[in-house]
Structure 1
């Protein structure tokens, strides 16, 4: 019988944990593991990204959209270093990812050997919950098992380092001896129940309020039914942190949409005017968009005690599973008979969606980017998964896309890094090969790394039960979000040497790869472009020529920000007249009466 190596055992243990996919890029620091993939008939499946950072993002996307642990792998030195950005994305968005990285042979450690990097120190922050090096075979089971359990239990990235020579050693299990650490596979997660006294006190507080606002995040995703019932009883509106956009559908009349820098006017006004706040499963960081201190009494529910009591002076900070806490609350809540607060919220939400459609239909040169998102809302499949990259596309994802049914969506929430839009979509497809996936990315993010990952899509798409993966590119030859930030935050005109992008024919590049490609140069082409892409028999790139002068500044932008933008224009910004024209036309839609509404 052939000898089982440490690398062989690593893969067998991953299979026992139900790990189906490993997102990775090869290198000689993991040669022993690569050989074991060959011997194991590629089980779990080695998914080759074009770059280790993309492998990490794919693992994050897989974990976000499946709820399971994502696994990425890289070689020693530069490969391990390249994983870091994706792992920080996982850390800041609370996503379970395990990184397996190679290292130079033990005999070379400390000898200034090629590609030798102190990986334990390098990963100490990003994998602060668990980082360990395997130096003898008997150590492997407990290190791997702990890395997986801690990643899932803490919703965080963990990392294990395996030197290249250790990978090729004969595997021997831990023995029944001193300083051996046996390990076991099983884990049963508890449903964390709330404190009874806290529930009664929180219910009394919520019952006493007359203008209740709810704020939910990704932690409320498994509690949608309970959120609906509580919102109905309290006559509350529900705002959503960006990572919680898919926690409740947008077609519910009291859902005010996103909150914060990329948020909606109804969410902003609800927080401005409420007297009671119930936050569920969210660590939304921008306190200036919360009620003013002393304005509202508050209750927070979160499963993570490290994230409780943040952002606002809540009176009750309840550590619990969201659904369990809300189920416990419901019997103690009294249905509010005065529905005027709720009615006002619903009226504002209705007006908001009319305004969003009107703004999307404003003429632009050549295509209004908002219309790209608005037209998809009309055709978005009920089981679609949507990703968005950082940049101006995140603005329109937050405000223009209306999620219905079982639509899922995410982006890089807290790290807000460029580059995850396309690899998230790839991770989503491996997690849900039977669901359509749509990625939005600006041309800056596409040029940074998205084009390369089109090659990964080319390689694997035929394996997916549903071949639809649409990459919609906002093609405006401008790093648009930073351009607007310079204008609004710093009062500086766009510095063209930093902001202009080389013009690239993205549709042509997709065609070369054998993918579907559609060029959109006029707004009336959008509806049919989406229809064609959503019925295609292969992944499709939508190359959409969008107008960079459409302002992504939210409707509650401050006067100071607007003044800074105007000053920047007057300092010599070469887009001054286009920006003024489009800004005035877009802003006007907030004040034009729609469908008989005059508020």
Structure 2
């Protein structure tokens, strides 16, 4: 039997060491689906419950493996469903390749069933590389370029393959005019380092600064040791953008934690008071949480020259890979003997963690959501992977989860879309099958699509050498983040018809699938519940009934935000008194000296 285009596609993916394709079938990719069957399912076809989830799983896999993630969908509606996950990859700079079917070439332009003009549909999200393969000889070069471009640009790319072409015999490109060959699979990893004179200018600024602050993002992940070293030399504290939360552990006394609306007070105070700022591998967009313009001299290190100098008036911009750039910079930086600035930062950090613990222990009705993450932090394995979703639970992930050891974590950083927490966790398990994974989910995201992906977990968990995948649901029957945004930013009371969620037992549903499932409605049960699911011999779900009125108050909340929230209460918010009481109790832990 001759090799078809679909067969060769899978062969080429194997040559690229692609081990799984996250996908959902449809007749627009029947030729490729049948090729999986002939190839004994190698690479593995991982069937998500929805194409958007397949894309999220590919993003999660790529984030935690460092390799390209591959997702696949049929033509028309399947292709459309991929878009949100691919935009998540685009905005978080993640290498993902989407393989998409299309109606047969003979039917194109004829308003045929499921015919959608995929070129303009994917033009923005796959702007780095988008191609439709119309003859077999195109395939190797097109696929190789899609993968190499995704890795080089850290971006999603897309390959469109018409349905009839998938079933045609494969013929390789010839040594002929208007045919394009390709090279064996493989991708070089160049180390880009800025010129010495620019490094010298950056070192001069760092050496002259008396109060140095460092902000790191995901681009600093391969440079953790170098960030530690330069922080030690300069006496700096290190704040972390959310996508860089796992770059340095939180048990380092000078790591101030997250920055921004979901940030910590030590990060806020360090940025407020510093005179020098070093940004490494971060595109943190909220300049209001950085030093006042003109107050601090700033340096930025980033591999992408198009993104540098955008967020703050940086004096020196170093276009280069973080590890190599810092290694070249370090010999030029002098150790600061005056450690007063560092001592202040460490004192603030220690005090903050005491405050966080006190806030987590404040009584709520029934469970304080901060305590859910606090209790997890006490017992989480040091090699765990944590995925977080978008919602009020993200506040507790950002502020209360202590990263230590080899822990990894991520969320949808720039798109901040709801729904990736559980599919990210699935992607993480395929990337690191021997490590425990915990997904922190609000009940809004869980009802949106997390529940369906429990079926995907149940189907594939036998493939993972460590079976532990824990889904923790913050069960408060409220789209809580938006509720608080209505109160704090718009001065509007909670609108029940848009915000309230239907009651559902996530534990019972998970138990019906064979999960270890624990329902918690008292804070005293939390510790034992976490112990149980973290030691289970199969996937688990923790269903915690949380108080929706525990406010995610930023440690730097403005007068206008507090005023708007109070006005919202006075306009008839049903839970006004409870909200005000919980807010006062929580804020008191931060303000009262003896708490």
- Residue 3 of structure 1 aligns with which residue? 2
- Residue 100 of structure 2 aligns with which residue? 101
2:118 and 2:476 map into 1 onto residues whose CA distance is: 40
Structure-to-structure mapping, 1:200-219, within 5 angstroms: 200-219=200-219
- Residue 514 of structure 2 aligns with which residue? 514
1:572 and 1:187 map into 2 onto residues whose CA distance is: 60
Q: What is the aligned residue count?
A: 594
- Residue 277 of structure 1 aligns with which residue? 277
**1:553 to partner: Cα distance:** 2.3
**1:463 to partner: Cα distance:** 1.3
1:146 and 1:577 map into 2 onto residues whose CA distance is: 59
1:352 and 1:188 map into 2 onto residues whose CA distance is: 43
Q: Which secondary structure does the structure 1 equivalent of 2:214 belong to?
A: strand
- Residue 48 of structure 2 aligns with which residue? 49
Call closer, same or farther: CA 1:594–1:302 in 2, change over 3 Å. farther
Q: Which secondary structure does the structure 2 equivalent of 1:80 belong to?
A: helix
Query: Which has the higher mean CA deviation after the structures are superposed, 190-199 or 211-220?
Result: 190-199
Instruction: Give yes or no for contact 1:520–1:545 (8 Å, CA) kept in 2.
Output: yes
**1:591 to partner: Cα distance:** 2.0
- Residue 300 of structure 1 aligns with which residue? 300
Q: What TM-score, normalized to structure 2?
A: 0.99
1:109 and 1:101 map into 2 onto residues whose CA distance is: 15
Question: Is 1:69 aligned to residue 68 of structure 2?
Answer: yes
**1:306 to partner: Cα distance:** 1.3
1:462 and 1:69 map into 2 onto residues whose CA distance is: 23
- Residue 198 of structure 1 aligns with which residue? 198
- Residue 591 of structure 2 aligns with which residue? 591
Per-residue deviation, residues 473-502 of structure 1 (Å, max 9, x unmatched): 000000000000000000000100000000
Per-residue deviation, residues 140-171 of structure 1 (Å, max 9, x unmatched): 00100000000000000000000000000100
- Residue 353 of structure 2 aligns with which residue? 353
- Residue 503 of structure 1 aligns with which residue? 503
1:17 and 1:555 map into 2 onto residues whose CA distance is: 47
- Residue 468 of structure 2 aligns with which residue? 468
Per-residue deviation, residues 72-102 of structure 1 (Å, max 9, x unmatched): 0000000000000000000000000000000
2:215 and 2:310 map into 1 onto residues whose CA distance is: 13
2:487 and 2:170 map into 1 onto residues whose CA distance is: 60
1:338 and 1:357 map into 2 onto residues whose CA distance is: 31
Structure-to-structure mapping, 1:234-245, within 5 angstroms: 234-245=234-245
Where in structure 1 do 4 or more consecutive aligned residues deviate above 4 Å? none
**1:594 to partner: Cα distance:** 5.8
**1:195 to partner: Cα distance:** 1.1
2:323 and 2:208 map into 1 onto residues whose CA distance is: 22
- Residue 490 of structure 1 aligns with which residue? 490
- Residue 413 of structure 2 aligns with which residue? 413
Q: Which secondary structure does the structure 2 equivalent of 1:517 belong to?
A: strand
- Residue 79 of structure 2 aligns with which residue? 80
- Residue 171 of structure 1 aligns with which residue? 170
Instruction: Give yes or no for contact 1:351–1:594 (8 Å, CA) kept in 2.
Output: no
**1:592 to partner: Cα distance:** 2.9
Instruction: Give yes or no for contact 1:257–1:263 (8 Å, CA) kept in 2.
Output: yes
Q: Which secondary structure does the structure 1 equivalent of 2:590 belong to?
A: coil
**1:193 to partner: Cα distance:** 1.5
Q: Which secondary structure does the structure 1 equivalent of 2:60 belong to?
A: helix
1:454 and 1:462 map into 2 onto residues whose CA distance is: 14
Q: Which secondary structure does the structure 1 equivalent of 2:300 belong to?
A: strand
**1:438 to partner: Cα distance:** 0.1
1:298 and 1:126 map into 2 onto residues whose CA distance is: 32
- Residue 110 of structure 2 aligns with which residue? 111
**1:44 to partner: Cα distance:** 0.3
Question: Is 1:226 aligned to residue 254 of structure 2?
Answer: no
Q: Which secondary structure does the structure 2 equivalent of 1:471 belong to?
A: strand
**1:37 to partner: Cα distance:** 0.1
Structure-to-structure mapping, 1:412-491, within 5 angstroms: 412-491=412-491
Per-residue deviation, residues 483-533 of structure 1 (Å, max 9, x unmatched): 000000000001000000000011000011111100000001000001000
Instruction: Give yes or no for contact 1:194–1:324 (8 Å, CA) kept in 2.
Output: no
- Residue 158 of structure 1 aligns with which residue? 157
**1:186 to partner: Cα distance:** 3.1
- Residue 188 of structure 1 aligns with which residue? 188
**1:554 to partner: Cα distance:** 1.0
Per-residue deviation, residues 428-478 of structure 1 (Å, max 9, x unmatched): 000000000000011000000000000001101111100000000000000
Q: Which secondary structure does the structure 1 equivalent of 2:187 belong to?
A: coil
Instruction: Give yes or no for contact 1:137–1:166 (8 Å, CA) kept in 2.
Output: yes
Q: Which secondary structure does the structure 2 equivalent of 1:83 belong to?
A: helix
- Residue 370 of structure 1 aligns with which residue? 370
Gaps spanning 5+ residues in structure 1: where?
Answer: none
1:594 and 1:439 map into 2 onto residues whose CA distance is: 35
1:108 and 1:364 map into 2 onto residues whose CA distance is: 61
2:307 and 2:290 map into 1 onto residues whose CA distance is: 16
1:562 and 1:447 map into 2 onto residues whose CA distance is: 30
**1:292 to partner: Cα distance:** 1.0
1:594 and 1:220 map into 2 onto residues whose CA distance is: 38
Q: What TM-score, normalized to structure 1?
A: 0.99
Q: Which secondary structure does the structure 2 equivalent of 1:589 belong to?
A: helix
Q: Which secondary structure does the structure 2 equivalent of 1:551 belong to?
A: coil
**1:593 to partner: Cα distance:** 3.0
2:205 and 2:311 map into 1 onto residues whose CA distance is: 19
Q: Which secondary structure does the structure 2 equivalent of 1:590 belong to?
A: helix
- Residue 20 of structure 2 aligns with which residue? 21
Per-residue deviation, residues 232-269 of structure 1 (Å, max 9, x unmatched): 00000000000000011111000000001110010011
- Residue 136 of structure 1 aligns with which residue? 135
